Chain A
Amino acid sequence: MTVRKNQADLTRAEKRRFVAALLELKRSGRYDEFVDIHNGFIMGDTDHGERVGHRSPSFLPWHRRFLIDFERRLQEVDPSVALPYWDWTVDRTPTASLWAADFLGGTGRTGDGKVMDGAFAETSGSWSINIRVDQRPFLRRALGSGRRGLPTRAEVDAVLAMPVYDASPWNSASSGFRNNLEGWRGADLHNRVHVWVGGQMTTGVSPNDPVFWLHHAFVDKLWADWQARHPRSSYLPVEPTRNVVALNDTMRPWNDVTPADMLDHTPYYTYDG
């Protein structure tokens, strides 16, 4: 059974195996397929048009399924690997062990933002940025960039307290839990973390940085935490709604999975706590 752990609690061996599995997916070309899928959706999802992966109710179930797919690919390489999550309310500085050379490597250097240590640095020769929006082929970061720091636990708790999953107009203007977690309104949780990391993480090709998966695993956990706090609340909309994935509609690109199928994560994985 897959157990997703806090990245701060991983053993050295677990980190080593996770990194090795990422490198193998990269080498085989499968990693970049995920970058490509994400970028296609983020550019295609619009507030007044069809929207599936982002700025819509299905942001959470879409990313849950996307991460399950990715985790399965990792497990084809190494069955012991599970996606860890990054609780950015706790590990909130560039000196966190997450960013050490034995795990994801640190921030980028001044001038060009190039990450200089760890397995994902250009110098390792194993992590070229192929699906990109500009010509730079190396991983970049600017940890701590952005106008604000990472979200705090109090900010997260305020969003988790919101009892309604989502609301019309079901986009970046919505009130409710989903949009406040996604960050287009309110304290800004998920979006702000992308900006804080900087580099490719601020772009449509954000999965180029392996921290994408750890960030979204935590966002996914927050959805599970919200469900536990609001057992009478559920996914909305239930009724068919134009341009939006309702509870029992299938989601692209899979076309065989609905938000209803994704509400319970426990058939796929559990969390460490």
Chain B
Amino acid sequence: MPQASRRTVIGVTAGALAGLAAAGPSALAAGLGRAASADGHRPPATDLKPFDEVYRGRRIQGAPTGTAGHHGAHGGHGGQAHDFGYRVTVDGEELHVMRNADGSWISVVNHYETYAEPRALARAAVVELQGAALVPLALA
């Protein structure tokens, strides 16, 4: 069996999930940036350019992960990847992002409004955060 993906972790009884606020930063690496994107229909996120800038006093960075579409995880129960081929950080802390079927992006702090590309998404997160730090992203 492949390594437990982030999707698998999320799939356990939700009440057992460790809260985001309670989770430790070390779990981040276990869940993200590993498996391939299951998206075979959109232009790969690896074609998107990286960015690195200071926006309203926060350092935002984004870069392709280089893994999208390379291996495995094309759906199926428990096998869904959570790497959309692009990684975004705010002051070094990972911002959970997701790509929609139409190629637009959302993040965990702007989850009901789409953005055309990751830099706009990162800037929107900075506005929403009003200076607050992200909680280290982890679910187990």
Answer yes or no: are A and B bound together in one complex. yes
* A interface residues (Cβ-Cβ under 8 A, vs B): 32-33, 36-37, 39-44, 46-50, 55, 111-113, 130-136, 146, 169, 171-173, 183-184, 190-192, 194-195, 202-206, 242-243, 252-253
CA distance A233 to B80 in the complex (A): 31
Known: A36-B17, A253-B14. A195 touches B112 (CB 8 A): yes
* B interface residues (Cβ-Cβ under 8 A, vs A): 6-7, 10-11, 13-15, 17, 19-21, 37-41, 75-78, 80-82, 96, 98-102, 108-114, 128-130, 132-135, 139
When the two chains form their complex, are residues A204 and B108 in contact, meaning their CB atoms are under 8 A apart?
Answer: yes
Q: A residues within 8 A CB of B114?
A: 184
The 5 sampled A-B contact pairs (Cβ below 8 Å) are A40-B17, A46-B82, A50-B80, A130-B19, A184-B114
When the two chains form their complex, are residues A36 and B80 in contact, meaning their CB atoms are under 8 A apart?
Answer: no
CA distance A42 to B129 in the complex (A): 19
When the two chains form their complex, are residues B38 and A191 in contact, meaning their CB atoms are under 8 A apart?
Answer: no
Q: A residues within 8 A CB of B100?
A: 47, 55, 172-173, 184
CA distance A133 to B134 in the complex (A): 6
Q: A residues within 8 A CB of B39?
A: 47-48
When the two chains form their complex, are residues B14 and A37 in contact, meaning their CB atoms are under 8 A apart?
Answer: yes
Q: B residues within 8 A CB of A55?
A: 100
A-B pairs, 6 with minimum CB distance:
A49-B80, A44-B10, A37-B14, A173-B101, A194-B112, A191-B112
When the two chains form their complex, are residues A43 and B10 in contact, meaning their CB atoms are under 8 A apart?
Answer: yes
Q: B residues within 8 A CB of A132?
A: 19-21, 135
CA distance A78 to B49 in the complex (A): 55
Question: Shortest Cβ distance from A186 into chain B, in angstroms?
Answer: 13
Question: Shortest Cβ distance from B68 into chain A, in angstroms?
Answer: 11
Question: Shortest Cβ distance from B46 into chain A, in angstroms?
Answer: 16
Q: B residues within 8 A CB of A46?
A: 7, 38, 80, 82, 98
When the two chains form their complex, are residues A49 and B112 in contact, meaning their CB atoms are under 8 A apart?
Answer: no
When the two chains form their complex, are residues B19 and A36 in contact, meaning their CB atoms are under 8 A apart?
Answer: yes
Known: A40-B14, A41-B10, A48-B38. A133 touches B19 (CB 8 A): no
